Amino acid sequence: MNAPTSALLLIALATPAHAADIAMDDQSQITTAAAVPASNAAFQPPLESQLEDNAFGKLVQQGRAIFVDTKTHAPDYVGNSLACTNCHLEQGRKANSAPLWAAYTMYPAYRKKNDKVNSYTERLQGCFQFSMNGKAPEANGPVIAALTAYSYWLATGAPTGQELPGRAYPSVSEPKGGFDLAQGEKVYAAQCAVCHGKNGEGQKAGEDYVLPPLWGADSFNWGAGMHRINTAAAFIKENMPLGKGGTLSDEDAWHVAAFMNSHERPQDPRLIDGSVEKTRDKYHANDGVNLYGKTINGQMLGKGL
Amino acid sequence: MNLAHWPFAGLLLALALPTHAADAATVYSKGGSNPAAMACVTCHGAEGEGLAAAGFPRLAGLSAGYLKKQLADFASGARANPIMQPIAAALTAEEADAVTALLANKPSPQVERISRAAPAAELGAVLALRGAWERNIPECVSCHGPSGVGVGETFPPLVGQSAQYLSAQLVAWQQGTRKNDPNDLMGHIARSLSQDEVNAVSQYFATLTETGAGQ
């Protein structure tokens, strides 16, 4: 590490966190191994038909409802037009699509960037603050209770404290020559625009977003894990186009992920002193591959919407 | 003649000429200018509600963009249909524009909002609201919208259509006689469905409206 970088890091570490209401100040990456075949090697969560019709079963179903139709069932905490299941496919059950059963058993977990042991509640709150561009549901409130019950139920019988095969999204190697935004734009037009719109705006049925916005004011903010090109490439490779996961090449997944994340979106709620530069140095400089605070086509990204 | 009168004279001339602009209601109820473009009303009903028993689909409330694409695809054979092919081929572009705009403005069926949050016990409801992800089959409503009301110009309404029509389309995709979906998004799903699943999911959407296609 060179001296100016070290100095910046020291300053960043010395700066007290101003965003006191941010429960978890990062969306830390999870290191993942190669893909496991989802069909056989992965843990199988219980079937919905096995859920009993009792108080616990009702709470689990409330959690499932919030998870798949978030804005309808937890409107106070959702600032954009996304639902949890947009990123966690098959209602949070699908291996290699960040399934809840693999996440739940890893908490509590120490996270280097906020230097503390995080509870599962804090992890869920982070999703609402960043991916949903909303606000953290109260730790002892009904939304966290229901989502926790749903996750706990999905993880029934899963071994705890170990990384389960199928966790997160299998990582995809960056193209040798780096990502190419022009190629990403072509992939987007050919494969993505039919659902997500020419300008990433998503599509509605009446008032409901059915096909989620990928950038702009109604999408995830600059603090969400999906703003990392490497994370988005892994998600896209595994899951997109919907129902046709695995059909894009690794290179095209990177190119189109970079294209998606080269557009403006809501500000990172951890913004320090109104400064994109300071926020980049503290939260984005060492957070995978991302364009927050970078200049693309003459415009600095990260100003927020 | 005073030059200032020419625009007015031009207007009179235009009014005096027989009109070539297609009248949507006439195309719908009596057919297009080419006799092969038979009247829509014969099979699709007075209000575009379709004829469930014969498998003729509802057209009322479908987006004009979707309907126009279907007409073009019938004409080209991308959507093979022996009844619609000659009709679509005989409609002029103006007639197709007019009649699809008329149909798009007709009402859609009113239906309760059913999202992925709703319970799903039977096979059809499970496919519609949960999918079959072990075969990469998403929930139908994840593209066609809650209750299958349709989304934009690409994802048509499923609610309001009859089970006969819906199952016939899934079978057409399976057999390759319908291949006009973008990037095979629907084709690959249809080909992964069993006959029981085709019937169940078609029945599910058909019964969301009390009397199916007639509503």
Give pLDDT, residue B14: 45
Q: Which residue of A has its CA nearest to B138?
A: A243
| Distances in whole angstroms, Cα of residue A246 to Cα of each of A17, B136, B157 | 40, 10, 28
Residue B35 maps to a domain: yes
Q: How do residues B54-93 score in pLDDT, each as one tens digit?
A: 999 999 999 999 999 999 999 999 999 999 999 999 999 9
Find the mean pLDDT for residues A98-118: 88
- Give B48-106 as a 3 state SS string: CCCEHHHCECCCCCCCHHHHHHHHHHHHHCCECCCCHHHHHHHCCHHHHHHHHHHHHCC
Final residue of a domain: which of B104, B135, B170?
A: B104
Residue A236 maps to a domain: yes
Final residue of a domain: which of A143, A168, A193?
A: A168
A286 and A247 assigned to the same domain: yes
Gap between the Cα atoms of A107 and A123, Å rounded:
9
Final residue of a domain: which of A168, A203, A229?
A: A168
Give pLDDT, residue A290: 98
pLDDT at A39 over 70: no
Test B145 with A65 for CB contact under 8 angstroms.
Answer: no
Best A195, A199, A239, A256 member to test B by mutation, with max B CBs in 10 Å, is A195
A10 touches B at CB < 8 Å? no
B→A contacts (Cβ < 8 Å), by residue, are: 113, 115-117, 119-121, 130-131, 133-134, 136-138, 141-146, 149-152, 154-155, 182-185, 188-189
Give pLDDT, residue A200: 98
Residue A164 maps to a domain: yes
B82 and B156 assigned to the same domain: no
B81 and B38 assigned to the same domain: yes
Residue A18 maps to a domain: no
Stated pTM of the model: 0.89
Residue A75 maps to a domain: yes
A223 and A274 assigned to the same domain: yes
pLDDT at A247 over 80: yes
Average pLDDT along chain B: 90
A155 and A268 assigned to the same domain: no
Going by pLDDT thresholds of 50, 70 and 90, the confidence category of residue B167 is very high
Residue B118 maps to a domain: no
Give pLDDT, residue A42: 85
Test A93 with B133 for CB contact under 8 angstroms.
Answer: yes
Give pLDDT, residue A20: 42
Best A89, A147, A210 member to test B by mutation, with max B CBs in 10 Å, is A210
**φ/ψ of residue B16, rounded to 5:** -75, -25
Residue B2 maps to a domain: no
Are B129 and B122 in contact, with CB atoms under 8 Å apart? no
Q: Which domain holds residue B147?
A: 123-214
Query: What's the domain count of chain A?
Result: 2
Test B146 with A245 for CB contact under 8 angstroms.
Answer: no
SS3 at position A176: coil
Test A89 with B133 for CB contact under 8 angstroms.
Answer: yes
A164 and A237 assigned to the same domain: no
| B155 contacts on A by Cβ (under 8 Å) | 210
Residue B1 maps to a domain: no
pLDDT at A5 over 90: no
Q: How do residues A43-59 score in pLDDT, each as one tens digit?
A: 999 999 999 999 999 99
B99 and B174 assigned to the same domain: no
pLDDT at A181 over 80: yes
Gap between the Cα atoms of B125 and B202, Å rounded:
10
A157 and A188 assigned to the same domain: no
Going by pLDDT thresholds of 50, 70 and 90, the confidence category of residue A33 is low
Of chain A residues 84-143, which have a CB less than 8 A from chain B?
85, 89-91, 93-94
Q: Which domain holds residue A206?
A: 181-300
Residue B36 maps to a domain: yes
CA nearest to A94, candidates B115, B130, B193, B143: B130
Residue A149 maps to a domain: yes
| A89 contacts on B by Cβ (under 8 Å) | 133, 138
- We report the CATH number of the domain holding residue A47 as 1.10.760.10
B130 and B208 assigned to the same domain: yes
Q: How do residues B34-53 score in pLDDT, each as one tens digit?
A: 999 999 999 999 999 999 99
Final residue of a domain: which of B74, B104, B134?
A: B104
Going by pLDDT thresholds of 50, 70 and 90, the confidence category of residue A111 is confident
B100 and B128 assigned to the same domain: no
Residue A17 maps to a domain: no
pLDDT at B212 over 80: no
Query: What's the domain count of chain B?
Result: 2
Residue B191 maps to a domain: yes
Residue A25 maps to a domain: no
B77 and B137 assigned to the same domain: no
Final residue of a domain: which of A168, A200, A222?
A: A168
Q: How do residues B117-138 score in pLDDT, each as one tens digit?
A: 999 999 999 999 999 999 999 9
| DSSP conformation class of A98 | -
SS3 at position A230: helix
pLDDT at A13 over 70: no
Residue B8 maps to a domain: no
Residue A287 maps to a domain: yes
Final residue of a domain: which of B35, B69, B104?
A: B104
B99 and B128 assigned to the same domain: no
A120 and A147 assigned to the same domain: yes
pLDDT at B2 over 60: no
B136 and B209 assigned to the same domain: yes
A40 touches B at CB < 8 Å? no
B145 vs A49, A208, A242: nearest CB: A208
Q: How do residues A280-294 score in pLDDT, each as one tens digit?
A: 999 999 999 999 999
Gap between the Cα atoms of A107 and A94, Å rounded:
19
A91 vs B130, B146, B152: nearest CB: B130
A236 and A285 assigned to the same domain: yes
B205 and B145 assigned to the same domain: yes
Residue B6 maps to a domain: no
B22 and B96 assigned to the same domain: yes
B129 and B95 assigned to the same domain: no
- We report the CATH number of the domain holding residue B70 as 1.10.760.10
| B185 contacts on A by Cβ (under 8 Å) | 194, 241-244
Give pLDDT, residue A14: 41
B134 and B208 assigned to the same domain: yes
Find the mean pLDDT for residues B184-191: 97
A67 and A117 assigned to the same domain: yes
Find the mean pLDDT for residues B136-142: 97
- Give chain B as a 3 state SS string: CCHHHHHHHHHHHHHHCCCCCCCHHHHHHHCCCCCCCCCCHHHHCCCCCCEHHHCECCCCCCCHHHHHHHHHHHHHCCECCCCHHHHHHHCCHHHHHHHHHHHHCCCCCCCCCCCCCCCCCCHHHHHHHCCEHHHCECCCHHHHCHHHCCECCCECCCCCCCHHHHHHHHHHHHHCCECCCHHHCCHHHHHCCCHHHHHHHHHHHHCCCCCHHHC
